[in-house]
Amino acid sequence: MASEAARVAQRCEEAKEKRDNLDLSECDLRKFPDAVYFLMKGLELQTLSLAHNDLKILPKKFSSKFSTLTRLDLSFNQLSSLPEEIADLQLLTSLNVSHNKLSSVPDSLSSIESLIELDVSYNQISEHFELASLEVLRASNNLLTSLPISLSSSSIKEIDVSSNQIVSLGMKEDDLILLLSLQVVDLRNNPLLDELYYFFNSITSIKIFLDAK
């Protein structure tokens, strides 16, 4: 425990020199240390990594304390949910929560209009979600049954939903073509219905990765 605390303190001192970047990855954290709020007080952090720890909960006050963040990495933890208060991160452009135990994406994320990149791959997400601001969505290795997009997803450029349980589009086939920004869709390793498979295979305006039939 003492070595963990010393490591966190050292990383915080290093962050004070960098002014905007705090790296607390691989610190054997089981919960977010309250001391970090005090040590980082007055600094407007833009990037924070908590990757490769053992965090099970993200405190509700976390987001209000670090409201200036633009990039947050929570990958490779034990998180089963994200607090609704994550919406307080109104400057966030990139969020990585891959390799956790999430079963859903909080609705409050949709209020972060600056969020353009989201990685929720390698979780247990089965509930449909849509975030209109996204440009890049990585959601491979989950339990999704339809594409997590709609006509309102006008900014989306790249979607990776490989290794899910997708059988349906979740929107009208013609509407997919209307997403003019969409460039890449990875649908490999999904149990697509034949009619949907042949529909995707016929699209030439979007680069679509499918399993061979």
Tokens encoding 189: 């390793």
CB neighbour class for 17 (10 Å; exposed up to 12, middle 13-18, buried from 19): exposed
Query: Rounded to whole angstroms, how far apart are CA atoms 76 and 154?
Result: 30
Fold observed for domain 126-213: 3.80.10
- Check for a shared fold between 1-117 and 126-213: yes
> pLDDT tens for residues 50-107?
999 999 999 999 999 999 999 999 999 999 999 999 999 999 999 999 999 999 999 9
Task: Name the superfamily (CATH) of residues 1-117.
Answer: Ribonuclease Inhibitor (3.80.10.10)
Where do the structural domains in the chain lie, given as residue ranges? 1-117, 126-213
Say what the pLDDT of residue 26 is: 95
Say which residues have a Cβ less than 8 Å from residue 112's Cβ, sequence separation at least 6.
86, 87, 89, 90, 92, 133
| Whether 47 contacts 19, CB under 8 Å | no
State residue 47 phi and psi, 5-degree precision.
Answer: -130, 130
In degrees rounded to 5, what are phi and psi of residue 133? -80, -15
pLDDT of residue 169: 86
Average pLDDT per 10 consecutive residues for the chain, totaling 213 residues: 80 88 95 93 94 96 95 98 96 98 94 97 94 94 92 89 93 84 95 89 91 82
Pick the closest to residue 67 from 49, 50, 51, 46 (CA basis).
Answer: 46
Which stretches does DSSP call E strand in 36-120? 47-49, 71-73, 94-96, 117-119
Tokens of 198: 């042949």
Render the burial of 73-94: b for 16+ CB within 10 Å, e for the rest: bbbbbebeebbebbbbbebbbb
Dist. CA 116–CA 158, nearest whole Å = 11
pLDDT for 1? 54
Return the pLDDT at 2.
59
Q: CA 137, CA 147: separation in Å to the nearest integer? A: 11
Distance CA 137, CA 118 (A): 5
